[in-house]
């Protein structure tokens, strides 16, 4: 990958990181908001639940974006963490924070969700 391609990915990832950090701050505000009104409370409970679910997903994405920025720094960006082959440019264009090539990702997706999460962690710690 050329230096200008790497810089382009850095810009995309930094913008995504800033966006997610902003969204997460707002979500946290919703998640802890309390209402004194009982009817409102029902509505808020639903909103809170949704906010918390999104919070989980977005925190996880933010973590992936940060890891991708770290890989840009150490020069391993664009390489699959599992098989160490280059991740296809098309996949990186769609998912700049992708850690695995499409084959390894699909293999991970096929296993149980919790298993693949652990699998991810093991690989991240090993990297």
Largest distance between two CA atoms of the chain:
58
Closest CA to 58 of 104, 23, 30: 23
In whole angstroms, how close is the CB of 82 to Zn ion at the nearest point?
Answer: 4
Site string for Zn ion, 13-52 (x = CB under 5 A): ----------------------------------------
The answer to whether residue 99 forms part of the interface with Zn ion (CB under 5 A) is no
How many whole angstroms separate alpha carbon 19 and alpha carbon 39?
33
Pick the piece of the chain touching Zn ion (CB under 5 A) from 8-16, 50-58, 64-72, 82-90. Answer: 82-90
Quote the DSSP letter at residue 73.
H
In whole angstroms, how close is the CB of 85 to Zn ion at the nearest point?
Answer: 5
Q: What is the token pair recorded at 19?
A: 């966006």
Residues that bind Zn ion (CB under 5 A): 80, 82-83, 101, 104
């Amino acid at each position: 990958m050329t230096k200008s391609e790497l810089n382009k990915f850095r810009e995309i990832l930094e913008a995504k990181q800033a966006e997610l950090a902003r969204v997460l701050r707002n979500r946290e505000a919703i998640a802890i908001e309390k209402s004194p009104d009982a009817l409102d409370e029902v509505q808020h409970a639903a909103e809170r639940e949704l906010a918390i679910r999104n919070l989980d997903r977005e925190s996880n994405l933010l973590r992936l974006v940060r890891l991708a920025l770290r890989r840009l720094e150490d020069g391993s960006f664009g390489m699959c963490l599992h098989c160490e082959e280059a991740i296809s440019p098309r996949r990186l264009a769609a998912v700049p924070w992708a850690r695995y090539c499409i084959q390894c990702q699909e293999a991970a997706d096929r296993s149980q969700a919790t298993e693949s999460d652990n699998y991810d962690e093991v690989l991240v710690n090993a990297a």
